[in-house]
Every structure is written in structure tokens, then in C-alpha cells.
Amino acid sequence: MSVSFVPVQWNRWKWIYDAVLVAMVVLYVVAFIAVGTPAAGFERPIDSDILRARALGSCAFLMVSVILMIGPLARLDRRFLPLLYNRRHFGVLTFFVMLGHARFVLGWYFAFSDLPTWRALLSANTSYGQILGFPFEILGLAALLCFAVLATTSHDFWLSFLTAPVWKRLHMLIYPAYVLIVGHVTLGALQSQGTPAFSVVVWMMALAVIGLHLAAALSDRPAAPVRRDGPWERICRVAEIEEGTARIGLLGNGDKVAVFRHDGALNAISNACAHQNGPLGEGRIVHGCVTCPWHGFQYRLRDGRSPDPFTETVPTYRLEIRGPWVWVDARANPPGTDVVPVPVPEAAA
């Protein structure tokens, strides 16, 4: 959180996060050039620029795949939550790796054309009506442009300027970008490789991304059938909420509510963080405040307000305990509304 806008907020963990990412990229590229190329079984030596282009291109594909896996992994297992921290840095670095790939591709394959480089790229192959021989270069260029938008707007300034809902929708570009990358690799590099290993890795990663997203979506389904009593909706059993944690419920209007148990009482707030719609229900309670697992924004459970001097707020909800069940009024209170905690009866604990 910040009281006022500042250009960059660096801390020790960000430096460590970025240093690890850069080190892994360097190690991968070195290993690809030193080990991967002989294993691929090429009959003739390959130019160094082609090697670098393939190393950076495959690295970028793996990085995007991992980025898309982090979210569902964190939803399925809380131990992956630390990977969400500074995930935008991961995306920005991926964009620069893509730029490096594009630089070596253009520098080798189109450097000697009579046409300007970018014009030569776009006009070298126009066989859009066929699969084999399809101009896969245009798919890679489109993916690069998508990531350029994502990297350019990654800073919190754009999040504040565009508002969280617009910013989030804009950054969903990563999904069509991933489809473009898979198409680019499948129609391009895989057709020229001497081994099916590259093809296997590509499709294994793509299927892993799809599978994890499906598993995370299934895990979000309510455990019990939705029951309604006017505006009130049944969320879960009281005993299902452990001390210091929350149960996330999907309301009939599509909103998600996080019901927290803290100091033997229940409170309900919106599951969406005011910063970037992060899942508050997956966060830890620190000094009486729930901490968003994405970027550390904090809110008091009783009124959904950030502690002074911060000003962020989220909606709160009224709740009741009826027998063993927790019921929530689906009509959200205005952000920052104080709601008295509901003590947990011994019989319902």
C-alpha cells in the first residue's frame, strides 16, 4: 500500500525475486546452447544467432507457461502463494526475453533483405489459407505486441489510472497471447526440429496450464448446495472455518464473500482486494487485519478499512449463525461499513 504515488517501491524481497528470475533465465539459455543443441540431433552446425533465438524463444514460452500456472497453483495449495508476489516482474522479464528472441530472428533471417526488416517479416510469407506453411511469424509478432501492452501497463500507476476492473480485463490479454505463442511454436519451430522432444514439451506445458485452470475452477465450487432465505444465503458450516482462516463463498449475484474466523468470532468481507481484486480469503490475518496474498494490502475484518494512514476500503457483509450453518446477507454494505463480529457458539464450533 502507499499513501501517495511513488515511482517504484523496492525492497529486499523484490531484489531477491528479480535476481532469482534473471539467474534462471541465464542458466536456461546457457544450458540450452551447451546441452540442448547436441541432443536435438541437427546434422549441420547451427549459427550462433539461430541458437540464441531458439534458446530465448523456448525460454519465453516456458516463462509464460509458468506465469499462467502460478495463479491456479496458489488457489489449489497455499504453499504456492509466495510465487504470486511480484508476478508482474516475471511478466516484464518475459517481455524482454521475447524481445531478445525477436532481435536475433530479425537479425539473422531478414537482415539481408532489400526491404525494411519489419516489412520483410510481414511480406515474406502470405500463405494464410493453409496450415503447413502458415506464416507463423505473424502469430509471434501479435503475441509480442500483447506482452508489450502488458509490460507497459504493469506499474501501479496504470492500475490506478485505468481502475482495477479495466486494468484486470486488459491484462487478460495474456491468455490470447499464450494461444498465439503455442500456435507460433507449433507451426514454426516444431516443423523444423529433428526430434519430437520439443513438440512433447510444448503440448505437455499447454495441457498443464489448461488442467490447472480447470482444477482451480472446480475447487471454487461451493461444497454445499446453495440455500437462500430471502436475501440471505447459506455459505458453509461453522466448523469448516478454522481459526485464522476464511471460507470463500460464491453468492447468487456472482460476488464472492470471504468469511473469516478470528478470536472466536466471524466477520464477512468482500473477497476482492481494492488494489487488484486479489483473493482476500486466501490471505493471512496479521495484527487483526487480513493481508492480501498478492501484494500485501491489509484490511480490518470488522469494517473492511485499511489501517491508518491508508485509505483503501472493501465492502462488508452481515452474517448470522443458524445452528451449524453460516448465513450471509448477499446485499453488501458500502465499503468501510462497521459490522459487529458474530461470536462462534460452542455448539457450532
SS3 assignment, position 269: strand
List where CATH 2.102.10.10 sits in the chain. Answer: 228-343
Tell which residue, 152, 183, 47, 161, has the closest CA to residue 105: 47
pLDDT of residue 4: 42
DSSP secondary structure code for residue 230 in this structure: T
Tell which residue, 257, 224, 265, 259, has the closest CA to residue 245: 259
- Supply 205's cell numbers: 506445458
Q: First vs last Cα of the chain: how many Å apart?
A: 35
DSSP secondary structure code for residue 237 in this structure: E
pLDDT of residue 126: 75
Residue 223: band (very low, low, confident or very high) from pLDDT cuts 50, 70, 90 = low
Cβ–Cβ < 8 Å for 191, 150: no
Residues 6+ positions from 44 with CB-CB distance below 8 Å? none
pLDDT of residue 8: 46
pLDDT of residue 98: 96
pLDDT of residue 156: 76
Given the DSSP bridges, would you call strands 316-317 and 256-262 parallel, antiparallel or unpaired? unpaired
- Supply 4's cell numbers: 501517495
pLDDT of residue 14: 78
Q: Is the pTM of this model over 0.85?
A: no
Question: Between the CA atoms of 111, 112, 114 and 120, what dihedral angle is there, to the nearest 10 degrees?
Answer: -40
pLDDT at 207 over 90: yes
- Supply 48's cell numbers: 550462433
* Model pLDDT for residues 209-221, shown as the tens digit of each residue: 999 999 988 876 6
Amino acid present at 56: L
Residue 114: band (very low, low, confident or very high) from pLDDT cuts 50, 70, 90 = confident
Q: What span, in angstroms and rounded, lies between the C-alpha atoms of 30 and 126? A: 34
- Beta-strand ranges (E) seen in the chain are 228-229, 232-237, 246-250, 256-262, 265-270, 284-286, 289-291, 298-300, 316-317, 319-322, 325-329, 342-343
Residue 102: what are its φ and ψ, rounded to 5°? -65, -40
Percent over 90 (pLDDT), the chain: 41
pLDDT at 259 over 50: yes
Percent over 70 (pLDDT), the chain: 87
List where CATH 1.20.120 sits in the chain. Answer: 12-219
CATH 3.30.420 correct for 12-219:
no
| Residue bearing the bigger pLDDT, 79 or 21 | 21
Residue 30: band (very low, low, confident or very high) from pLDDT cuts 50, 70, 90 = very high
**CATH superfamily label, 228-343:** Rieske [2Fe-2S] iron-sulphur domain (2.102.10.10)
Mean pLDDT, residues 117-143 = 79
Please state, rounded to an integer, the average pLDDT across all residues of the chain. 84
- In this structure, of 10-14, 212-216, 231-235, 334-338, the range with the lowest mean pLDDT score is 10-14
pLDDT of residue 16: 86
Mean pLDDT, residues 16-31 = 92
Tell which residue, 294, 337, 235, 335, has the closest CA to residue 74: 294
Cβ–Cβ < 8 Å for 39, 97: no
- Supply 119's cell numbers: 516489412
SS3 assignment, position 311: coil
Q: What span, in angstroms and rounded, lies between the C-alpha atoms of 336 and 310? A: 12
Question: Between the CA atoms of 289, 296, 156 and 141, what dihedral angle is there, to the nearest 10 degrees?
Answer: -140
Cβ–Cβ < 8 Å for 315, 337: yes
> What is the C-alpha R_g of the chain?
24
pLDDT at 6 over 50: no
Distance of CA 200 to the CA centre of its chain: 24
pLDDT of residue 106: 84
pLDDT at 224 over 80: no
Residue 76: band (very low, low, confident or very high) from pLDDT cuts 50, 70, 90 = confident
Residue 2: band (very low, low, confident or very high) from pLDDT cuts 50, 70, 90 = very low
- Supply 146's cell numbers: 500483447
Residues paired with residue 256 on neighbouring β-strands, in sequence order: 250
Residues 6+ positions from 203 with CB-CB distance below 8 Å? none
* Model pLDDT for residues 267-323, shown as the tens digit of each residue: 999 999 988 788 898 888 888 899 888 778 899 999 999 998 888 999 999 999 998
pLDDT of residue 190: 61
